[in-house]
Structure 1
């Protein structure tokens, strides 16, 4: 979408180019390459999400005037007397549950050099997310005011950042700001590719099928995993009309419900058992898929909510019905001591 709007490049060609670049540096550089590029890309994203809304505010005449414009624009639902429902608020807040189950975020903490660095890493991570999310929300809200005040034609609301960058800044500055979109795409995609390939090579192949596998064989299988996952992602992305937000929210719910619940119980409940963790992950994933595709029309709530709740219930019940493995309590206490 970025290349299409900026360069007039055909969607399919842009998709192929992006896929090849991301796969190439993930394939060749591995974990260290992804970490360093994530640092630079993260700073670029945060900077863009601070500069763009501040400039938008300046052009709109300040925060109060922008909010007055937004207040005058009433969506159809509000004009019909329907306020924001409790389910909508719960759904919005439930996005926070997804963070606990994101593999590309968790792996950063898993690979940290020392537990003493976790507090600083936590502060940096949460600060970055808070600033970036606030900036994103401001761009969305101010975008409504800007489009209305200057009577812009915006066919795709997801391109508001692209349009604002092109309208408000010198082409050179706009180019840097627009590269922040590529940074967001590439940092997430490369991290997910790396985690997925590592899971295929290390967790499945080496631990289940071939415990004596050589490092070379595991590395080759990991690279093959990168290619396989990239191909699947490419095929999903060929649907030009699909919403980026809807795809991300679906994946976010799946990760949060299946892995997030297990992570939280692992950190705060020493009684959780191995079988309960497995059942919780399976339950969370299944409930999200089933609810999204078959039950969402009956109760409009973000699918992570029922998925997370069901996974948590299964973890609690299964843990109480099964025995804790020897050494679990000691390992849990050691973890708390180190933290």
Structure 2
């Protein structure tokens, strides 16, 4: 197949070459081959429609934020089998992110460690691309975050600016307050800061004449008490759902052979994150009585992982590290493996 012949050699040498170079080349190639990749879409498509967040999804498996920050390959992702796509995280100001190296593959652990730091072309550039190229034929989520140059005290306006300019294009917004790679960002998960941010974003959405769902992406490293407080704020301010979880600062589950590499700063994703992500999804579901739809993400490397997410209370799931390490066949296996399960 086209992907296996052309794209796979670039993407799946992560264990042996510079992971970030492989990632960038792959997204660029998918962007150029968008229409050609779309021609093989029937080979990957799974039909298992569900309604979540007030919108119809062709099935429950989506692409997580981080893979295509700038929306360069929007035609390709649905063709590779994804039922929805989340781009970003984008920020108000374009920024290069943290110094390199900042992306590390841990193949023995089935994991990736990153400290990218929201490297992206900026919200305006993404809006321009969407205006020119159009949206994908599946629901589009846009993850927004705080610019590194913006003081924490001015974070609300940073998020509002990005929401305004991207509002015409998003089917939902993911509010990223949980990345470990932007200094101070996780402080926005605290009760007072989060309440102010969500109140202003809801008001901004109303001013724009729409009610685009807002989802909050949470860290797996929160205590139960802190997470319960966050959920209370989300319910009080009309948040539409939760994305659980972002990457973790913990290093539990890393293969001993990769322990030295795992001492690098940054957030860990992949297999070591699986148990905690499922645990957080279950806590969110139980704490809210199922009132907040959950997108489960973190350590989904096969259908069994996705089933555990759904059993814990997730309505949708997202792939990132599993897809990066194992290819588009994972999308098909997972989507077909959970097809027909109650929503």
TM above 0.5, yes or no, is: no
- In proportion to residue count, which structure has more helix? 1
Q: TM-score range by the shorter chain?
A: under 0.3
Instruction: Identify the structure with bigger relative contact order (alpha carbons < 8 Å, sequence gap 6+).
Output: 1
Higher CA-based Rg:
1
* TM-score when normalising by structure 1: 0.25
